[in-house]
Amino acid sequence: MNENGTAGGPARILVIGAHPDDCEVKVGGTACLWARAGHRVRFVSATDGGTGHHRIGGIELVRRRAAEAARAAEILGVESEILPIPNGGIVPSLEYRGMFIRMIRRFRPHLIVTHRPWDYHPDHRNTSLLVQDSAYLVTVPNNCPDTPALDDNPVIAYMADTFQKPCPFDPAIVIDVTAVMDTKLDALHAHVSQMYEWIPFNQGVEAEVPAGDAERRTWLAGRRSLFDEGLAERFRPRLVERYGPQRAADAKYAEAFEICEYGGRLDDRKRDWLFGGL
């Protein structure tokens, strides 16, 4: 296997979200399947999460969210990394582009997964732009010459969303994650500060959150499974193409990925290597 791009053997997959829980929310099921298949998966949070709460913040929240992300990664069987960029302060600057290029080169991924550049949250949008702006340049030695350049431009894929403008999400890959949905929810359950505190407060449903741990986990499943259930229904024909009619009919939950044209080419061989058997 070529160190960077030739299909075969364990792959290195880098999932870059804007915040410490984004990777789990959008890619947790597929990441678990990748890890079980023997691939190496690293979740990266582009920001430190330090403003994502209504009662605490600063270093206390940064440390708490890092611990939550580490626990979630352990549950999924993946690695966890958090970049030193302030939550709410990420922009597509030359400084941060250099940080992304170095981070990508150090891991030497075959596949990068990130947000689409159209999103309600500026951190999501700017994380996506930084990944796009790092594409190709990761192969140019005179850019960030202190870190060895890659031989090949990694494949880049986008996480699923429901935004329609300027263009709706159009997946090339749809993965049945029904068998690992409980594990994904266990990983989300580890993000207590987000799943049971900040997000319910922000959405006006804080009073609905149960007090007990088991009751919270049940409540979380009822809310957080809806997006993945919607993806399975939305892209049922793609599931039929991939798995056949019987398994597609039984697939209750799915995750999906659109290919970014700025990354390396996802030919049939790489598609089978990176997504086959899932």
Q: Does domain 12-177+257-275 have CATH number 3.90.1170.40?
A: no
Q: Give CA–CA dist 263/154, Å, rounded.
A: 6
List per-residue pLDDT tens for the chain, 278 residues long: 345 445 679 999 999 999 999 999 999 999 999 999 999 999 999 999 999 999 999 999 999 999 999 999 999 999 999 999 999 999 999 999 999 999 999 999 999 999 999 999 999 999 999 999 999 999 999 999 999 999 999 999 999 999 999 999 999 999 999 999 999 999 999 999 999 999 999 999 999 999 999 999 999 999 999 999 999 999 999 999 999 999 999 999 999 999 999 999 999 999 999 999 99
Closest among 161, 157, 100 to 131, alpha carbons compared: 100
Place of tokens 């791009």: 5
User: Would you state the pLDDT for residue 8?
Assistant: 75
User: Would you state the pLDDT for residue 137?
Assistant: 98
Cα dihedral value 275, 248, 24, 278, nearest 10: -30
Tokens of 142: 């005179």
Query: Distance of CA 136 to CAs 139, 174, 194, 232, Å?
Result: 6, 26, 35, 33
Yes or no: say if 128 and 119 are a contact pair by the CB < 8 Å rule: yes
Query: Distance of CA 238 to CAs 99, 155, 164, 233, Å?
Result: 36, 21, 19, 10
Beta-bridge partners for 254: 176
User: Would you state the pLDDT for residue 177?
Assistant: 98
Tokens of 92: 């597509």
Helix axis angle, 181-189 to 213-234, nearest 10°: 130
Closest among 44, 56, 20 to 188, alpha carbons compared: 20
User: For the chain, which residues make up each domain, given as ranges?
Assistant: 12-177+257-275
pTM metric for this prediction: 0.96
Closest among 104, 113, 100, 111 to 158, alpha carbons compared: 113
State the pairing for strand pair 111-114/155-159.
Answer: parallel
